[in-house]
Amino acid sequence: MRRSPWSCLSWLVSVPRAGLDPAAVVAAGAALADEVGFAELTMARLAERVGVRTPSLYKHIASQDDLNRRIAALAIAEAADAIGAATQGRSGRDALAAAARALRDFVVAHPGRYAATLGITPTGPDDPIVIAERRGLGPFEAVLRGYDIAPQDMTHALRALRSMFHGFATLQATNGFQWSTDIDESFEWLINFVDRALRCTSAADPAPVPGSTDRR
């Protein structure tokens, strides 16, 4: 490349270090995403936020995709910790409610971080995201152990729990429930619904009535 015509004057400027490192950049990115929305999280904005020119960010992260993945991993780990802490020492309905509320509180408090976790497809089994996710499953497993679920149904029940609370959280986060003020009430209703279903589950026969429906 061409040499800068100003390079002969470089002794004029002093460029102090900003004291950045990958973790700091990711944390700043997560905070910024919460403030301006994940879609508005841009390299230029993040650079301005941390007091640096845009290309300098690439000394700490490989790309914007890399940044997004790290934010997602951070968010999942944080959410997992929050849920774990909330369910500590509880069981049954109490634990279920605590987990659900902790997850939703996290989504409401950190919409940008949460949005970063959506639409992420892990690159492989050793992706930090996968590891964090596996950690995040722990508290839900613990909750389920408070109900007596047949062992072969654990995976299904876990997925059902994830689906429900993840679905509710995303619908609320993306304004899926229009102009309605009683969302909190619906959420509590959902918790009761799930609790009832889980207690029912152990009582009901594990197999559906044969022939009652077509199986694909």
Give contact residues for a second copy (rule: CB under 8 A): 39, 93-94, 97, 101, 115, 118-122, 125, 130, 133, 153, 155-157, 159-160, 162-168, 170-171, 174-180, 182-186, 188-190, 192-194, 196-197, 200-201, 204, 208, 212-213, 215-216
Q: Which does 4 bind (CB under 5 to 8 A by kind): DNA, a second copy, none?
A: DNA
Q: Which does 151 bind (CB under 5 to 8 A by kind): DNA, a second copy, none?
A: none
Residue 53 CB-half CA count within 13 A: 4
Interface with DNA, residue 180, by CB under 7 A: no
Q: How far is CA 192 from CA 48, 86, 92, 107, 140, in A?
A: 46, 18, 11, 20, 16
Can you read off the two tokens belonging to residue 110?
Answer: 């950190």
Interface with DNA, residue 119, by CB under 7 A: no
Task: Please check whether residue 128 is in contact with residue 72, taking contact to mean a CB–CB distance below 8 angstroms.
Answer: no
Residue type for position 81: D
Q: Give CA–CA dist 209/62, Å, rounded.
A: 54
CB 62 to a second copy: min, Å: 19
CB 23 to DNA: min, Å: 11
Closest CA to 134 of 126, 146, 145: 126
Please report, as residue ranges, which positions from 13 to 32 form the binding site for DNA (by CB under 7 A).
14-21
Contacts with DNA, 48-87, as mask; x by CB under 7 A: ----xxxxx-xxx--xxx----------------------
Size of the site for DNA (CB under 7 A): 32
Task: Please check whether residue 129 is in contact with residue 162, taking contact to mean a CB–CB distance below 8 angstroms.
Answer: no
141-165 as b/e: b if 16+ CB within 10 A? ebbbebbebeeeeeeebbebbeebb
In the complex, the residues that contact DNA under the rule CB under 7 A are 1-7, 10-11, 14-21, 42-45, 52-56, 58-60, 63-65
